[in-house]
C-alpha cells in the first residue's frame, strides 16, 4: 500500500489549455465535468449537459450548493444567435419582514437556520431550461447523479477542505438548536466529522429525491411531495415557509445586460444579481490607460475601479421591483466618467455615488453546434443555512443573509422579495458572435474575478488557462486588499506606498474558482480551468 499525503505538493505545476471540437464541459469537480461530456456523447446538447452537471454538483460539491440552491444561467442559442438569461433566485417567505427580525433583536441578517432561507430556485430553473432548450428527458439527465448518490464517490481534496470548517460550524449550531441542525450532521458528517479526501460519500436519499423530481419534471419540489416534506419540517422546527410560498414560485426569463469593453461585448445578469458591478468597473477602466500587467500602477487602477463599482452595487442593487436607481444610469458613460475622475495616485476610501446624475459553483458547457451555457448555482455560504430536510437530503441555501434590515435600503427584507445576489455567470461576444462563457465563483470575489479575467483576455491577450492562472487581488472593503503570494513583492510594496492596506494570502481557494470556454472562429473550443481547486476540463 502506497503511503502519501494528498495535501502535500512540493513543486509548482502548470496546466495547458484544452482543445475540442464536439463538446466541452468545465467545472471544479472532475466527476461533474465528466457527467457533462458524457451527456453530450449520449446525444445531448450543451444545455442538457449543463442541467446534468447542475443536478450532479449538489452531490459531488455539497460544500457550495444543494437541492435547495438558487442559480443564474446565461444560454447562447446557436439556432437563434441570441443570449438568454434565466433568473433562478428564490423569494423570502411571505411571513418574514425586516421589522419582525428587528423585533427579535437582530440588527443584521443571521446566516444559520431558518431565517436566511428562501424558496429555492435552482430546481425550477433546471426544468425551465430543459423545456425551452433541452433535448433529453429529466430522468436521463438525472441518471448519473442518481448512480453516484447510491454507489458513492471519492470526496475531492478541496471539497474536503471546505467541509472541515462547515462541520465545526454546524456542530456548534446543533448544540444550540439540535432539532434544526441534527439532520445536517446525520447526512453530511461521520459521527460529527467531515469526510476525508478520497473517502467514499453516499447519499441515497438524494437519489430518492431525484426520482421524485424526474417523475414530475421537478414539480414535486414546489407543488408535490418534496414541498410537503419541506413545509412539515419548517412547521415542526420554527421555519416560516407556507404552501403559497412554494406554489407561486417560478423562475424568470430576463434580458442580459452588457457593456462594450474595447470592442468586446461583456454580458452579465441584471439585478438582483451584482453582475452590474463588473460592467461598471469595466466602463471605468476603458477610459484609463493600463501599462504592464504586473505593475503596481495597473493593479492600482483595476482595484480602484472595482472598489467604486462595488460600493455602488452594494448600495443600489436589489430585487428590480424595489430598485429606485435605474440600471441604464448605473451603466451610463457619463456616470463612468464621473467615477473615473476620482481615481488618482492614492488609494480611495470608496463611497457610493449618485448614478442618477444624468460560496457557489460555476460551470460552463459548449457543444459542436455552437450552443453554450454559463451556469452558476449556490447555497451562498458553503452548506448554506445548515437546514436539511429529513428523508430528502435537501440542503437549503442562506441567500437571505444578503438582505438588509435597514428600512431605507432598497434591499431591505420583505416577504416575497428576492435578495441581493452574489452569483453571476458571465459571457463574452464580439460583433454579435459568441466567444463564450466565463465565470469566477466565490462570494464577493466573483465580480472582482470577472473583471480580472476580462482585462487579462482583452488587454493582455492571455489564453483561457493563463487568465485563470494569473495572480489575483481581492478588495476586502475600505482600503484593504488581499494579494496572492505570486504577485511580485515590489508591486505589493508600491501599493502600500499608495495607501492600500495590503495582506498577502497563501490560501488561494478564497481568491475565486473560475472556468472559461472560448469558441474560435473555426469552431474549435478552447478551455481553461481553475488551478485553485480540483478544476477539470472534459473535452470531446
360 catalytic, yes or no? yes
Degrees, nearest 5: CA angle 271-273-275: 95
Catalytic residue among 259, 360, 392, 422: 360
Residue 285 C-alpha cell reads as 477602466
- Select from 442, 511, 417, 433 the least CA-distant residue to 471: 511
| DSSP bridge partners of 516 | 438, 528
How many helices (H) does the chain have, and how many strands (E)?
A: 18, 21
* Spatial separation of the C-alpha atoms in residues 257 and 262, rounded to whole Å: 17
Place of cell 419541506: 230
* Spatial separation of the C-alpha atoms in residues 47 and 109, rounded to whole Å: 35
What element of type H or E holds 246? helix 243-247
3-class secondary-structure state, position 200: strand
Using H for helix, E for strand and C for coil, what is the string for 446-501? HHHHHHHHHHHHHCCCCCHHHHHHCCCEEEEECCEEEEECCCCHHHHHHHHHCCCE
Q: What is the DSSP string of 338-387?
A: HHHTT--SS--------TT----EEEEEEETTS-EEEEEEE-SSTTTTS-
The residues annotated as belonging to the active site are: 360
Amino acid at each position: 500500500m502506497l503511503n502519501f499525503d494528498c495535501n502535500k505538493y512540493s513543486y509548482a505545476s502548470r496546466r495547458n489549455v484544452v482543445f475540442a471540437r464536439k463538446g466541452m464541459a468545465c467545472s471544479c469537480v472532475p466527476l461533474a465535468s465528466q457527467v457533462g461530456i458524457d451527456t453530450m456523447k449520449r446525444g445531448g446538447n450543451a444545455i442538457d449537459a449543463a442541467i446534468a452537471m447542475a443536478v450532479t454538483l449538489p452531490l459531488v460539491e455539497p460544500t457550495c450548493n444543494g437541492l435547495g440552491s438558487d442559480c443564474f444561467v446565461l444560454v447562447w442559442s446557436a439556432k437563434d444567435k441570441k443570449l438568454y438569461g434565466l433568473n433562478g433566485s428564490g423569494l423570502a417567505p411571505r411571513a418574514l419582514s425586516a421589522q419582525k427580525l428587528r423585533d427579535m433583536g437582530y440588527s443584521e441578517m443571521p446566516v444559520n437556520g431558518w431565517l436566511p432561507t428562501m424558496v429555492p430556485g435552482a430546481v425550477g430553473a433546471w426544468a425551465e431550461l430543459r423545456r425551452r432548450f433541452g433535448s433529453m428527458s429529466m430522468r436521463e439527465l438525472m441518471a448519473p447523479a442518481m448512480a453516484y448518490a447510491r454507489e458513492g464517490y471519492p470526496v475531492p481534496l478541496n471539497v474536503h477542505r471546505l467541509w472541515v470548517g462547515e462541520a465545526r460550524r454546524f456542530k456548534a449550531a446543533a448544540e444550540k438548536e439540535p432539532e434544526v441542525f441534527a439532520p445536517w450532521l446525520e447526512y453530511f458528517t461521520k459521527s460529527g466529522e467531515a469526510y476525508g479526501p478520497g473517502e467514499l460519500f453516499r447519499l441515497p436519499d438524494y437519489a430518492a429525491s431525484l426520482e421524485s423530481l424526474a417523475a414530475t419534471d421537478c414539480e414535486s419540489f414546489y407543488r408535490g411531495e418534496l414541498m410537503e416534506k419541506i413545509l412539515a419540517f419548517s412547521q415542526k422546527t420554527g421555519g416560516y415557509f407556507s404552501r403559497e410560498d412554494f406554489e407561486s414560485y417560478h423562475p424568470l426569463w430576463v434580458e442580459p445586460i452588457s457593456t462594450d469593453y474595447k470592442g468586446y461585448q461583456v454580458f452579465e445578469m441584471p439585478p438582483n444579481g451584482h453582475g452590474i458591478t463588473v460592467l461598471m468597473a469595466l466602463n471605468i477602466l476603458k477610459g484609463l490607460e493600463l501599462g504592464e500587467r504586473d505593475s503596481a500602477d495597473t493593479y492600482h487602477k483595476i482595484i480602484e475601479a472595482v472598489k467604486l463599482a462595488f460600493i455602488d452595487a452594494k448600495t443600489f442593487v436589489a430585487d428590480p421591483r424595489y430598485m429606485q436607481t435605474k440600471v441604464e444610469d448605473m451603466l451610463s458613460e457619463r456616470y463612468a466618467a464621473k467615477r473615473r475622475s476620482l481615481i488618482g495616485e492614492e488609494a480611495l476610501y470608496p463611497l457610493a455615488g449618485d448614478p442618477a446624475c444624468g460560496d457557489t459553483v460555476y460551470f460552463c458547457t459548449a457543444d459542436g453546434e455552437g450552443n453554450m451555457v454559463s451556469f452558476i448555482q449556490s447555497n451562498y455560504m458553503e452548506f448554506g443555512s445548515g437546514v436539511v430536510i429529513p428523508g430528502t437530503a435537501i440542503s437549503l441555501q442562506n441567500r437571505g443573509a444578503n438582505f438588509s434590515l435597514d428600512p431605507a435600503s432598497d434591499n431591505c427584507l420583505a416577504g416575497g422579495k428576492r435578495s441581493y445576489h452574489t452569483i453571476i455567470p458571465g459571457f463574452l461576444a464580439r460583433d454579435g458572435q459568441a466567444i463564450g462563457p466565463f465565470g469566477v465563483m466565490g462570494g464577493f470575489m466573483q465580480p472582482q474575478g470577472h473583471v480580472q479575467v476580462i482585462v487579462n483576455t482583452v488587454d493582455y491577450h492571455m489564453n483561457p488557462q493563463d487568465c485563470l492562472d494569473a495572480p489575483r487581488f481581492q478588495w476586502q472593503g475600505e482600503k484593504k486588499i488581499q494579494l496572492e503570494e505570486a504577485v511580485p513583492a515590489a508591486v505589493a510594496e508600491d501599493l502600500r506606498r499608495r495607501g492600500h492596506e495590503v495582506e498577502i494570502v497563501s490560501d488561494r481557494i478564497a481568491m475565486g474558482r473560475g472556468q472559461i470556454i472560448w469558441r474560435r472562429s473555426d469552431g474549435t473550443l478552447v478551455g481553461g480551468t481553475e488551478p485553485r481547486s480540483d478544476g477539470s476540463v472534459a473535452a470531446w
